[in-house]
Amino acid sequence: MAVGREWPPEWRRYKDPISGVEVTQLTNYRAHSYHLYFTNPGWYDGGRRLLFGSDRENRTNLFSVELSSGRILQLTDLEPLESPFELSFLTTAVNPCRDEAYFWYGRQMRALDLQTLQMRVLWEMPAGFRPSMLNCTADGLSVCAAINEDLSDRLRIDYHRGYVGFRETWQANPLCRIVRVALDGGKAEVVWEERSWIGHVNTSPTRPELLTFCHEGPWELVDNRIWCLDLSSGRAWKVRPREGREAVGHEYWLQDGQRIGYHGRLPSGERILGCIRYDNTERIEGTVLHDTGHTHSLDFSLIVGDGGRELRLWRQEGGRFFGPRVLAEHRSSFHIQEVHVHPRFSPDGSYIVYTSDTLGYGNVYMVPVAEFEALPPLCEPAK
């Protein structure tokens, strides 16, 4: 394998058996391929190329696919690493202002120029910590990430395969930090620290001073899942404060960089979809009949979820939710994090990208957003 190697198109197109919408399978290799986590947009080169991770030739590397031709370009050539630094590109972040991507390689935070394919080390995490999600600030000047105390010497941990050690890590209250690393010079600053398990650092796509993070653990038991941090003041606060045994999470920024979407479950067992402004105003929330899974939307008028075996669409209007309608069948196993479906709208809202291992290996798919009323309603009984 080599940096800059071109792979021929692997795509195929087919009609979805439920909706009849044409689906494009972008990868087809006998190893797992997957797009970035749904909070991390993977498009670059003016939206013409999409990043994905792939385990080709018994190694894990970063690739991109040209969406007009299907041609694949290899972007890295890295030696495999052992747990707890096993290589995955799910948490990769793309700079919104230039074609550069950021990922973890062992304890190193690395930057990759997506045009020249030159790589540089930005920062090295101190010993005794594990890496988490990366995200770039809206001004393109910094990368933010959580690093968490490594408890693997006393706990059996494998979060990627079945969330092994998940509850035990939450109960241990590990020392956790949020760091901001400057892209010019690599100066690192600890902007938040506490003894509560932190994950999912997500930067606002329009407000460079704002990010959300979460308190990891069982959603109905943590003090609060969603938090916002103002990098300019260092102040943090609860977003959508949890009441009782509510379970709310999988938060993501809407395209305006002001509102945060989420899904969850009420103590009654009812499913909810919602969004709220970062300052806890303008809350829109309602119950829905079916499992949502991970959800994503651009402006909260149309929401996609991966619950069950399908990509499910809900339409929101005036605080009322309609649907779900079935856009496409994914039939993914969710067996490991890399084959979670993690659907995400394209920046222009014209299609959705997702991952599925319905053929046995994880592959990356895209499906156009069809007219909502023309799609078939979900037929499975509500649970």
109: which 2 tokens?
Answer: 């935070």
- Cβ neighbour number for residue 137 with a 10 Å cutoff: 25
Closest among 313, 346, 315 to 327, alpha carbons compared? 313
Q: Strand 235-238 relative to strand 226-230: parallel, antiparallel, unpaired?
A: antiparallel
**Phi-psi map region of 205: left, alpha, beta (phi>0 left; psi -120 to 50 alpha):** alpha
Which of left, alpha, beta for 351 (phi over 0: left; psi -120 to 50: alpha)? beta
**Cα gap 216→168, rounded to integer Å:** 11
The Cα 251–Cα 133 span in angstroms is 13
Whether the upstream peptide bond of residue 324 has omega within 30° of 0, thus cis, is yes
Per-residue tens of pLDDT for the chain, all 383 residues: 699 999 999 999 999 999 999 999 999 999 999 999 999 999 999 999 999 999 999 999 999 999 999 999 999 999 999 877 889 999 999 999 999 999 999 999 999 999 999 999 999 999 999 999 999 999 999 999 999 999 988 888 777 777 787 889 889 999 999 999 999 987 999 999 999 999 999 999 999 999 999 999 999 999 999 999 999 999 999 999 999 999 999 999 999 999 999 999 999 999 999 999 999 999 999 999 999 999 999 999 999 999 999 999 999 999 999 999 999 999 999 999 999 999 999 999 999 999 999 999 999 999 999 999 999 999 876 65
Residue 33 pairs in a beta bridge with: 54
**How, if at all, do strands 188-194 and 226-230 pair?**
unpaired
Pseudo-torsion of CA 30, 36, 41, 46, nearest 10°?
A: -30
